[in-house]
Amino acid sequence: MSAARAQILSRVHAALSPLPQRASLPAWDRELLGRRGTPQATDPWTLFAERMKAVNGLPCATVEELVALLEGPGWRHGYCDPVLWPGLRPAFPAGFVVETEFDRMRIDDYQFGITAATGAIAETGTLILSDGGSSRRLAALAPWVHVAVVRREDIFADLHAALAAMPVDPNVIWVTGPSKTADVEGILIEGVHGPGVQIALLAAT
Amino acid sequence: MITCLCDAFFDDLARATVEVLEHLGCTVSFPAGQACCGQPALNSGDWAACRRVVRHTAGVFSGEAPVIVPSASCVAMLRHGAGLAFEGEPDRPQVEQLALRTWELADFIVNGLGVRTWPGRCDATIAFHRSCHSRGTASGEAALALLGSIAGIQLRPFGEAEQCCGFGGTFAVSFPHISAGMGRLKLGQIQAVQPDMLVSGDMSCLMHMGGLAERAGRPVKTRHFAQVLRDALHQT
Amino acid sequence: MALQPIDQFAARLPAAQRESVRQATKGTHEKRTQLLLDRFADGDGLRRLAGQIKQHVIENLDTYLPQVEARLQANGARVHWAATGEEACAAVLGILKARGATKLVKAKTMVSEEIGLADYLERHGIESLETDLGEFIVQIDHDHPSHIVRPIIHKTRGEIARSFEREGLGAYDDDPQVITQRARRYLRKKYLEAGAGLTGANFVSIESGRLVVVTNEGNSRFCLAASKCHIALVGIEKLVPRDCDLALFLSLLARSATAQPLTVYTEFIAGPKSPAQPDGPEEMHVVFLDNGRTEVLASECRDILRCIRCGACLNVCPVYRQAGGHAYRSVYPGPVGAVLSPMLAGGRFPEFADLPKASSLCGACQEVCPVDIPIPDLLLRLRDRGKREGAALASAGTPPMGAWALLASRPALWRAALAAGKLIDHVPTRLLPVPALQAWSAERTLPAWRGGTFRAWWRRRGRRRPGNGAQVP
């Protein structure tokens, strides 16, 4: 291994040393990524919700909305982060089976998974997940429906802001809508390996 | 600079270029030793042959006067392509000097002489094809501005305008099936808007598309914009 | 006359396949262009900026590679180096064996194609399964991807349905929804059984050591969440300076690749999982791959190392639309492949010396490239190299330029040729031993020969007009 390292680095050095000068790193301003056109709505949740819908995500402002969304198609068996469950439980009627432990031997039992998001990005309708914020990676990924609970104060305006505030976490995931593919003749199909339904629930204050 | 294609096939375009320039008050000279800009050799990878031709051309066109060419392709060769073949060559400055004086015709008229409108008349719907070598230059816009200013001309845009017509110089004969396939797609887009004529600033594209259309039994009238400008002068 | 293999391939390509490739690429290209126009005041300026940042990185790799290595190690990742594809395969195998893993799930990475990883692992008793739907289908068909972002752009749903039936994934059903659901169900089990997950990386931030992996399907998430070991295969050129630069690159990547503002999933992987997180890799390995990249770095074509593998150049290329990806006979097709494949081939350059010729040099690729690579110039340089090295494929079908240069630099010879050319108007083309003429006339008429006519006109005119010959002012 270290032989390869020495070989590669010496080849890199040999390749670059003849250059009379090296290309410099240009300074650039986030304004270059600024949005064309008129300024956006000022409430981050409102903008986030609009953008999330544009990528086929489902924003819910209240837990009652969430319950109605789950009940309709009959999604009544799922998982919820044990830290979040006490706050949500009162709104869930009888008939729901919600486990607070995720058993990876039974991943197909869970029709939905409710986990915490560490933030969101309004401009793109993106949810931010992380190891520190998610009780279980698989709970946010494997069930057909994923519900990410996000706080209004954790919603960033744009990519730049989100990157500037990246948490110190080994696994940060930006989620922009439900999983999809267009591999078969370019036809868009939602729900591949990740969730087919992506929901964001605004945390109650 | 009339270009090798005009020397061989398109004398009328060369004449039209002279007439257009003289109409604008220029005194035109034609150095008889000219032949080719060297692009075929550059594109073929024979850069030694390319340098030979470019050196001869630089010698033929030595001096101070602007060199006007009715071809964006040849101008791109002298302004950009030659730079590649002459990297590290001692006479690169001479080649660069020629490049600085070389103008595509429409660019010269509009941006060199400041003429933005053209007199006369031409009653025709025109599909204008921007050659790939005019990408990133002022030539395409300049030609469109002049054509659009002529009384009676209606410009008809067509789809997939960014797609190459398939000529590509020696590409047309080394990759004939692909070249023809590209040309047919292009002709399809052009013929869909039913223009009276297909006009361009590069005769090479017109030779390729015109030749394909004629062989297919659906000929299309092709004109270089310099010919349209010249003809408009004779129509009032 | 020797014929160009890519042209012959295009001639034999079934019309239906050519048309489906054309529709798919045209659609994505046009959407991409609209997206950039809608969103940014100066999309071209952003491309040039991204190009400058990437150029800076590749020209400073001697500083940056040790830096990113230190950062990754500080994050808890193990860093390996592979000078060749063989070494990279051996490194991956070594990691798997150390963990006693016999099953690997992999997300889509062109680098793994480049080094032939799947075949290598199979020979060494490792089951390596593609999880990206397109690559999964390529794998079960023992096929090769024909596009770097849309691997099965050349396949129909019927072909896929038949393959699924053959593999026991269900009775024939060509509904894309059914196909996708079947793949989802099949692969879920496989993720959970795997001993390791392998990904590539779209970018590696030198500042934070984060690997960025983008997908729409979520397969890379699953490869990592379900297994205990993460192996990342990364070309040495994939670095970007800072996390803030990712805002620019991520804004350009998905728009250029799939005509969407962002892919569904953008993962920032900075190390093995958090200790408190039950799911995810306990070990993370990054294998940095050379495999010819340092040779490219030393050449006059180093700019190609800026490439972020978006595929926008493939989508706009009129030659790609005629010939399809398999015509390029290599892992990387299209304009980027026409530069990269011959260069990464090292000593086998002559076998790929025709790829840089398969272009009309139209420049559309450069216009869409999110890192502003001057691809036509690089193609020209490779044509020069092909000629100098005497590669047969470089000259096939090309008229000889030595004779042309002689004619074009000797005015007397040129004028004689202009006169002699009249022959083509009088002798049938098939009887003229000029291959270029034959190739032209197979599909196109030739205009009448007018050699010498303008010059005669000019001379007559000169006799009528006094004082002619002064220069244009």
pLDDT of residue C434: 85
Q: Which of C138, C146, C137, C113 is nearest to C326 (CA)?
A: C146
pLDDT along chain A (205 residues), means of 10: 92 98 95 76 90 97 97 97 97 96 96 98 97 96 98 96 96 98 92 96 92
Q: How crowded is residue A21: how many other Cβ atoms within 10 Å of its Cβ?
A: 6
Q: Do chains B and A touch (3 or more CB pairs under 8 A)?
A: no
Contact C445 B170 (CB under 8 A): no
Separation in Å, CA of B125 to nearest CA in chain C: 24
Q: Which chains touch B (3 or more CB pairs under 8 A)?
A: C
The SS3 of residue C304 is helix
pLDDT of residue C472: 44
Q: Domain spans of chain C? A: 5-11+294-395, 40-291, 411-463
Separation in Å, CA of A191 to nearest CA in chain C: 8
Selecting from C394, C411, C471 the residue whose C-beta is nearest the C-beta of B65 gives C471
Write out pLDDT tens, residues A89-114.
Answer: 999 999 999 999 999 999 999 999 99
> pLDDT-derived band of residue C428, with 50, 70 and 90 as boundaries?
confident
The low-confidence residues of chain B, meaning pLDDT below 70, are 236
Mean pLDDT over each residue of chain C, to the nearest integer: 95
Residue of A nearest to C262 (CA): A176
Contact C247 A189 (CB under 8 A): no
Assigned architecture for domain B116-233: 3-Layer(aba) Sandwich (3.40)
Residue C107 exposure: Cα atoms within 13 Å on the Cβ side: 29
Chain C residues lying within 8 Å of B8, measured CB to CB:
418, 421, 449-451
Q: Which chains touch C (3 or more CB pairs under 8 A)?
A: A, B
For chain B, positions 85-144, list CB contacts with chain C under 8 A. Answer: 85, 132-133, 135-136
pLDDT of residue A41: 65
Chain A residues lying within 8 Å of C247, measured CB to CB:
30, 33, 158-160, 163
Residue with tokens 């038949």: C162
Contact A9 C262 (CB under 8 A): no
Selecting from A163, A169, A175 the residue whose C-beta is nearest the C-beta of C247 gives A163
Task: List the end-to-end C-alpha distance of chain C, in Å, as a whole number.
Answer: 48
Separation in Å, CA of A72 to nearest CA in chain C: 21
Find which of C317, C454, C455, C463 to mutate to test the B interface (most B CBs within 10 Å of its CB): C454
Write out pLDDT tens, residues C22-41.
Answer: 999 999 999 999 999 999 99
pLDDT of residue C435: 87
**For strand A119-121 and strand A126-130, is the pairing parallel, antiparallel, or unpaired?**
antiparallel
Contact C445 B28 (CB under 8 A): no
Residue of B nearest to C27 (CA): B160
Q: Domain spans of chain B? A: 4-111, 116-233
Taking CA atoms, B114 is separated from B109, B142, B145, C378, in Å, by 6, 10, 12, 36
> pLDDT-derived band of residue C430, with 50, 70 and 90 as boundaries?
confident
Separation in Å, CA of C345 to nearest CA in chain A: 17
pLDDT of residue B120: 95
Q: Which residues of A57-68 are buried (b: 16+ CB within 10 A; e: fewer)?
A: bbbbeebebbbe
Contact C60 A22 (CB under 8 A): yes
Is B175 or C430 the better-scoring residue by pLDDT?
B175
Is B143 or C464 the better-scoring residue by pLDDT?
B143
Write out pLDDT tens, residues C166-184.
Answer: 999 999 999 999 999 999 9
pLDDT of residue B156: 97
pLDDT of residue C467: 46
Find which of C18, C25, C357, C362 to mutate to test the B interface (most B CBs within 10 Å of its CB): C362
The SS3 of residue C265 is strand
Q: Give yes or no for residue C469 having a pLDDT over 50.
A: no
Query: CB neighbours of B210 closer than 8 A, spacing ≥ 6?
Result: B198, B219, B220, B222, C445, C447
Task: List the end-to-end C-alpha distance of chain B, in Å, as a whole number.
Answer: 29
pLDDT of residue C182: 95
Find which of C61, C279, C288, C299 to mutate to test the A interface (most A CBs within 10 Å of its CB): C279
Q: Which of A91, A152, A87, A165 is nearest to A122 (CA)?
A: A152
- Alpha carbons C418 and C400: distance in angstroms, whole number: 18
Q: In what order do the strands lie in the sheet with A58-60?
A: A58-60, A197-202, A145-150, A112-116, A77-80, A97-99
> pLDDT-derived band of residue C471, with 50, 70 and 90 as boundaries?
very low
Contact B10 C440 (CB under 8 A): no
Chain C residues lying within 8 Å of A172, measured CB to CB:
210, 267-268, 270
> C161 is written with which tokens?
């349905």
The SS3 of residue C267 is strand
Of A184-193, B7-16, C300-309, C460-469, the least confident: C460-469
Separation in Å, CA of A190 to nearest CA in chain C: 8
Chain B residues lying within 8 Å of C454, measured CB to CB:
2, 6-7, 11, 14-15
Chain C residues lying within 8 Å of A158, measured CB to CB:
247
Q: Give yes or no for residue C464 having a pLDDT over 70.
A: no
Is C278 within 8 Å of C225 (Cβ atoms)?
Answer: no
Q: Which chains touch A (3 or more CB pairs under 8 A)?
A: C
Is A176 within 8 Å of A119 (Cβ atoms)?
Answer: no
Q: Which CATH class is domain A42-202?
A: alpha beta
> C175 is written with which tokens?
């509904």
Assigned architecture for domain C40-291: 3-Layer(aba) Sandwich (3.40)
Contact A184 C180 (CB under 8 A): yes
- H-only helix segments in chain B: 4-8, 11-23, 39-44, 47-60, 72-76, 82-85, 92-101, 105-107, 139-148, 171-174, 176-192, 203-215, 225-233
Domain C5-11+294-395 CATH (choose: 3.30.390.30, 1.20.1250.20, 3.10.180.10, 1.10.1060.10): 1.10.1060.10
Chain C residues lying within 8 Å of A4, measured CB to CB:
80-83, 87, 290
Separation in Å, CA of C433 to nearest CA in chain A: 46
Q: Domain spans of chain A? A: 42-202
> B167 is written with which tokens?
């000529």
Separation in Å, CA of A136 to nearest CA in chain C: 6
Q: Which of A106, A116, A130 is nearest to A80 (CA)?
A: A116
Name the percent of chain C lying above pLDDT 90.
91
Contact B168 C386 (CB under 8 A): no
Residue of B nearest to C319 (CA): B178
Query: CB neighbours of C101 closer than 8 A, spacing ≥ 6?
Result: C126, C194, C195, C196, C229
Write out pLDDT tens, residues C46-77.
Answer: 999 999 999 999 999 999 999 999 999 999 99
Count of A–C CB contacts within 8 Å?
A: 257
Q: Side chain identity at A46, as an amino acid letter? A: T
